Structure 1
Amino acid sequence: MKIDLHSHTFCSDGVLSPTELVIRAVDKGVDALAITDHDTVAGLAEAKESISKQQLPLQLINGVEISTSWQNFEIHIVGLNIDPTNACFLQQLASQQQRRLERAEEMARRLAKSNIPDVLPAVLALANGAALTRTHFARHLVNIGQASSMNNVFKKFLGRGKIGYVPNSWVEMAQAVQWIQAAGGEAVLAHPLKYKINTKWLKRLLADFAAAKGDAVEIISPQQTPQQRRDLWALCQQHGFSASVGSDFHQPTTWNELGKNLYLPDDVLPVWHHWPLAQTAKGNLSN
């Protein structure tokens, strides 16, 4: 059974619609998919409806990815099996959306001072109601010829210390864990090797995530080595975490795909071990 618990639609910074995403997941042999857009659950209803109408052989896991603040780092926490109709949770996500808008406004002001005007209206049009991210800014700056690629945008304009960089004001990591669990979900530390922190800080992050009563860690992500997966699992065992897997899919690329290489070693406890799908998954994933 192939499971992917981290993916995005155009409701945040992905490029596919929820319908397109679930169809692609089936085409790639995925059996269970979590849609985890940034600070929004807006794509879940369409995805569920599409699966039902087209009778797709896909189990949808209601998810979200919350941007949080920890020790001046931006840390992402995935929520799995959340209740997307929980009124309190929706209000909390709305507060994150307001933070995103305020950050976007300040980014646009800073870019305007560097002779790149009228960025915010263009970015809002590009997002088309989706959760605003720096990716939308990057796409716009590439479109208008300010950079040759998305990566180049971050190097020139949006990375830490650059002219368009604005520090985040996200919810604290421990509070986001509480939000997710109060909405019936499980809190997963997303892609821990992407934060560009050394081993000492990584251990500290996992310790604080454990103190916040987090549930699992995403130990399987694209382009990890087998040794990195083993090392992450060893750290998880120290804190009693289960393991999650996710492609962090945003768009079709040559280096990442839904469900690709998301396999767990036999001795790893998956986050879904107590879910209804566990009986068929048997704790393992196919390539």
Structure 2
Amino acid sequence: MHLLNADLHSHSTFSDGSLSPAELAARAHAGGVALWSLTDHDEIGGQAEARAAAERLGMAYVTGVEVSVTFAGETVHILGFDFDPLNPALVEGLHQLRAGRNARARAMGDSLAEAGIPGAYEGAVAYAANPELVSRTHFGRFLVDQGHCSSMHEVFQRYLKEGKPGFVNHRWAGLGEALGWITGAGGVAAIAHPARYRFTPTEEFALFGEFQAHGGRAVEVTCGSHFPDEVTRYAGMAAEFDLLASRGSDFHAPGESRVDLGALPDLPGKTVPVWSLWADRIQERPAVQRAAEALR
């Protein structure tokens, strides 16, 4: 089970991805994924389509979401897996987060207009299947397609990171609040792409300690934005805090994402994968059985 090709971090048109849940499932299956999760930002509306598509293709599936959290003044993302998508507290909490996203998006449009780019909010909305979830990625696609920037990387460097026109700070859910929604719905929480956060060592230690104290169970060790030395570092952090290890590409769109679905390296050998929690269920799926046979 350790070498299972699991991809537990991806985004669809329900948040800021460019493919539908069914299209993502097909791409994951083509990439050899045996266990998959759709983890849209603060949104679980695509879960039924994702699960149905995965099961048609023989892949094991667990429900997923990526929740926006503010910790020590920084935006942190917490992944939730294998929860009840009908849980009232989770559904309402995510709804409130999406309302905050819309207000932030309008403020970003105003800020870009002041910088000489009018119509950015309306332009970003045109790229979003869900108007409640207009994100920096949607603004980025608008700015690239309108010729203001040549790439998404340039967009973030010139406009959408802190201190630049178009960046709007926002307070998201509290760490304990987000973990309460996930664990209250029967799910498992994981810290997403920890190397991306600009924390001091003391702040990072506090994040992991508070995450564990609130019932967090895992950390994303291998992911699309981690370099090999960071994979090693967070495998060590997983061991230090007795956390399970997760693995996910953070795939958003063909041509935009650093790593395609299913193309990540394996988890480091000494880690315990988060999917060990679901071993009895997932090993019954045809894609998982094929993967196990290939390793014999």
TM-score by length of 1: 0.91
Q: 1:1-287 residue pairs with structure 2 within 5 A? A: 1-52=4-55, 55-129=56-130, 131-222=133-224, 224-253=226-255, 255-275=258-278, 276-277=280-281
Q: Where does structure 1 lack aligned partners over 5 or more consecutive residues? A: none
Superposed displacement of residue 225, structure 1: 4.4
Q: CA deviation at 1:235?
A: 1.6
Contact 2:218 2:244 in 1 (8 A): yes
Asked whether the equivalents of residues 80 and 188 of structure 2 are also in contact (C-alpha less than 8 Å), the reply is yes
Tell me by how many angstroms 1:243 deviates: 1.0
Call closer, same or farther: CA 1:83–1:262 in 2, change over 3 Å: farther
Distance 1:222 1:6 in 2: 9
Q: Verify the 8 A CA contact 2:248 2:264 in the aligned structure 1.
A: no
Structure 2: distance between partners of 1:176 and 1:150: 29
> 2-side partners of 1:19 and 1:81: how far apart?
19
Give yes or no for contact 1:247–1:256 (8 Å, CA) kept in 2: yes
C-alpha displacement at 1:277, in angstroms? 4.4
Q: SS at the partner of 1:75?
A: strand
Is 80-89 or 99-108 further displaced after alignment? 80-89
The answer (yes or no) to whether the contact 1:35–1:44 under 8 Å persists in 2 is yes
1:18-70 deviation per Cα after TM superposition (whole angstroms, max 9, x unaligned): 11100111111101101000000111112223345xx3111121100001100
Residues 214 and 128 from structure 1, CA distance in 2 versus in 1: closer, same or farther, beyond 3 angstroms? same
Q: How far 1:125 moved relative to its partner?
A: 2.0
Aligned length: 284
Report the more deviating stretch, 68-77 or 129-138: 129-138
Residues in 1 aligned to 2:247 and 2:53: alpha-carbon distance in whole angstroms: 24
SS of 2:221's equivalent? strand
Which residue identity is paired with 1:152? Answer: E
Offset, 1:172: 1.1
The 1-side partners of 2:227 and 2:117 are apart by 40
Q: For 1:187-218, what per-residue CA distance to the aligned partner results, in whole angstroms no more than 9, with x for missing partners?
A: 10000011133444322321222232211101
Name the amino acid aligned to 1:158. Answer: L
Give the AA of the match of 1:212. H
Asked whether the 8 Å contact 2:235–2:268 carries over to 1, the reply is: no
SS of the aligned residue for 1:127 comes to coil
Moved more, 219-228 or 6-15: 219-228
Deviations 1:65-110 (A, max 9, x none): 0011000100000000011122221111110100000001111111
1:227 deviates by: 4.0
Q: Are the aligned partners of 1:11 and 1:37 in contact in 2 as well (CA < 8 Å)? A: yes
Which whole-Å CA distance do the structure 1 matches of 2:225 and 2:250 have between them?
11
CA-based RMSD: 2.3
**More moved, 233-242 vs 72-81:** 233-242
CA distance in 2, matches of 1:160, 1:227: 26
Q: Can you list the C-alpha shifts for 1:198-255, whole angstroms capped at 9, x where unaligned? A: 4443223212222322111011113644443232122222222111111111122484
Separation of aligned partners in 2, 1:215 and 1:172: 17
**What is the one-letter code of the residue matched to 1:215?**
R
Structure 2 CA distance, aligned partners of 1:104 and 1:226?
Answer: 34
CA distance in 1, matches of 2:29, 2:156: 33
**Structure 1 counterpart of 2:184, which letter?**
A
Q: Which runs of 5+ in 2 are unaligned?
A: none
- What is the aligned-residue identity percentage? 36
Q: Would you say the 8 A contact 2:32–2:262 is kept in 1?
A: yes
SS at match of 2:63: strand
The code of the aligned residue for 1:182 comes to G
